[in-house]
Structure 1
Amino acid sequence: MTDAEWAEIRSAMPVPAWLLKRGGRPEAYCHREMLDAVRYLVDNGVKWMALPVDFPYWRAVYDFFRRWRACDYVRELHECLRHTARERAGRNAEPSAGIVDSQSVDASETVGEDSRGYDGGKSRDGRKRHILTDTEGLLLEVTVTTADVHDSKAAPALLETFMDQPGRLLKLVWVDSAYQGPALAKAFARHGVRIEVVRRSDGHRGFVVLARRWVVERTLCATRRSVCIPGSAGRNSEGGFWAG
């Protein structure tokens, strides 16, 4: 990270318990180095043990990552940064409208058959990521399924996960024609969210930029690599964020 990027991220991190004298041990490594190490691993697809030696010891980085995943700190940090970005753009911290779409990707040979499927429409054998973004393209929620799960089947769970968090204001979601059916409409109506289908004009051929939907397509293109980090409630006394 650049110094400017680190300044943004550090200001979004909650103060760890040991600095507030609420227990726990001070951490041995700078969080900036830890975050850089995790980002390097995700971006390059290397093994934990293959992290370059100029990062902290790989086992320390792995334990750091596991703690963040277990306590859902990645989501917490992302939410804070997203709120800041929206407020700087003159918008409310929480969006009232969003866009849903999905993307099927091939899985490697090491992915078992129990967690992969075949998407006949896209000719992809692997998994599918379903995402919800705001109108700026900022990621609100993501869920991963096997590639054979239809978009309309995964969308209700995607919405439920997002709307279960306190303070949500979502009222309108733009989708493509795959997101239809009484079960999906009922699930969205339960949260007071209206669905609006953005259709492609029959008179156009080839690639066409569609209103609203181009935003989520751009986000999918920008997130070719992704990490699925399951969340869990709770926070331990040593799990705060800080820089050494």
Structure 2
Amino acid sequence: MVEALKPRRFRRASERAAKRYSTDLRDREWEIVEPLLPRPKARGRKRQVWQREILNAIFYQIHNGGIWSDLPTDLPAYQTVYKYFRRWQRQGVWQQIHDALRQQVRVSAGKQPQASAGSLDSQSVKTDGNKGEVYGFDGGQLIKGRKRFILVDTLGMLMAVVVVNANCSEQGGGVMAVETLEPEQAKALTLIWVDQGYQGENFARVVVQLCGATVEVVKRADPGFVLLPKRWVVERTLAWINQNRRLSKDDELLPEMSEAIIQGSMIRLKQKPQVIR
């Protein structure tokens, strides 16, 4: 007798009837991530879904966009996927996975685990005004939505991310991003490159108080598009992020989930060292 098809919550990627997706974790990539995930509890109900497939579903959603309920049926149920994603975000597991992979990338590149220099920048993106209470209007970019502040190292790896209303000032959002640094990151950081939007003694003074880093303003000498020294790296990271349809705008109800999705896009990128130069 032919064995009945397993319920999709028990099914592994190798058992799918459909083709694999480009966002699926390969075996080598799963071996890196698996030790960073929570171990099953010794007591209580046994886990009924494979965490690798949960990650595959999250990465699929980040890259392809759309509503959660439109996840392909050969991936775990969207309610289960979002429940795990939200739990990992709230418990700090997602942050730990992201930070551990960033350190691995840095060590593989011959650098110290923690960065001594970084670049800070922001990006305003559109959102549905009915999606949560955190949104505003960026008068400079003429965008109604939210603003992403990111701090990256010299490889373009994400060190900090904050998502706020779009009318937040550059300096205000920059301070919030620096405030999210882990103690080990703040201790190692000595220099932050910024553009002229962060110029001013107040911002530099607050950054010194928060992490002891010096703020260096990289000024634009020529009009038009020019790759600024030390600043092009953060622009490249924003371009990497924007390659994911889920991040082409911000439709998340909670800004902390917007931050988690940005981290997720970078988690997937960190597993593709050929992309990082």
- TM bucket, shorter chain: 0.7 to 0.9
Find the aligned partners of 1:149 and 1:60 in 2 and give their Cα distance.
34
Equivalence for 1:5: 29
Which structure carries more relative contact order (alpha carbon 8 Å, separation 6+)? 1
CA distance in structure 1 between the aligned counterparts of 2:225 and 2:216, rounded to whole angstroms? 21
- What are the residue-to-residue correspondences of 1:57-136 with 2, within 5 Å? 57-111=77-131, 114-136=133-155
Is the alpha carbon distance of 1:14 and 1:2 closer, same or farther for their aligned partners in structure 2, counting shifts above 3 Å? Answer: closer
Compute the TM-score of the two structures, normalised by the length of structure 2. 0.74
What is the alpha-carbon distance in structure 2 between the residues aligned to residue 126 and residue 138 of structure 1?
A: 25
Aligned counterparts of 1:177 and 1:29: Cα–Cα separation in 2: 49
Write out per-residue CA displacement over residues 191-236 of structure 1, whole angstroms, 9 at most, x where no aligned residue.
Answer: 21100111111xx232111111000000011112443239xxxxxx
Distance 1:105 1:58, change over 3 A: closer
Describe the shift of the 1:163–1:3 C-alpha distance in structure 2 as closer, same or farther (beyond 3 A): closer
**C-alpha contact (below 8 Å) 2:186/2:212 kept by paired residues:** no
Contact 1:102 1:130 in 2 (8 A): yes
Find the residue that maps to 1:121 and give its secondary structure: coil
**Higher mean C-alpha deviation, range 213-222 or range 162-171:** 162-171
**Which residue of structure 1 aligns with residue 236 of structure 2?**
218
Secondary structure of 1:111's counterpart equals coil
C-alpha distance in structure 1 between counterparts of 2:226 and 2:80, whole Å: 48
The whole-number CA distance in structure 2 between the counterparts of 1:84 and 1:144 is 25
Alpha-carbon separation, structure 2, partners of 1:167 and 1:106: 31
Q: Which has the higher helix share?
A: 2
Report the equivalent of 1:169: 188
Runs of 4+ in 1 over 6 A off after TM superposition: none
Please tell me the residue identity of whatever aligns with 1:192.
G
RMSD value, Cα: 2.1
Aligned partner of 2:111: which letter?
A: R
TM-score normalised by structure 1 residue count:
0.83
Tell me how far 1:52 sits from its aligned partner.
1.4
Q: Which runs of 5+ in 2 are unaligned?
A: 1-24, 248-257, 262-277
Instruction: Please tell me whether the aligned partners of residues 17 and 24 of structure 1 are also in contact (alpha carbons under 8 angstroms).
Output: no
User: Which shows bigger deviation, 63-72 or 93-102?
Assistant: 63-72
Name the CA distance, whole Å, in 2 between partners of 1:67 and 1:96: 31
Show the counterpart of 2:39. 16
Q: Percent identical across equivalent pairs? A: 38
Q: Is residue 158 of structure 1 aligned with residue 158 of structure 2?
A: no
The 1:41/1:172 distance shift into structure 2, 3 A limit, reads: same
Distance, in Å, in 1 between the alignment partners of 2:182 and 2:104 is 20
Which residue number in structure 2 is paired with residue 236 of structure 1?
none
Write the letter of the residue equivalent to 2:193. W
Distance 1:175 1:167, change over 3 A: closer
Aligned length: 223
Secondary structure in structure 2 of the residue aligned to 1:127: strand
Per the TM alignment, residue 25 of structure 1 is displaced from its structure 2 partner at its CA by 4.2
Distance 2:40 2:135 in 1: 41
- Alignment-mate amino acid for residue 103 of structure 1: Q
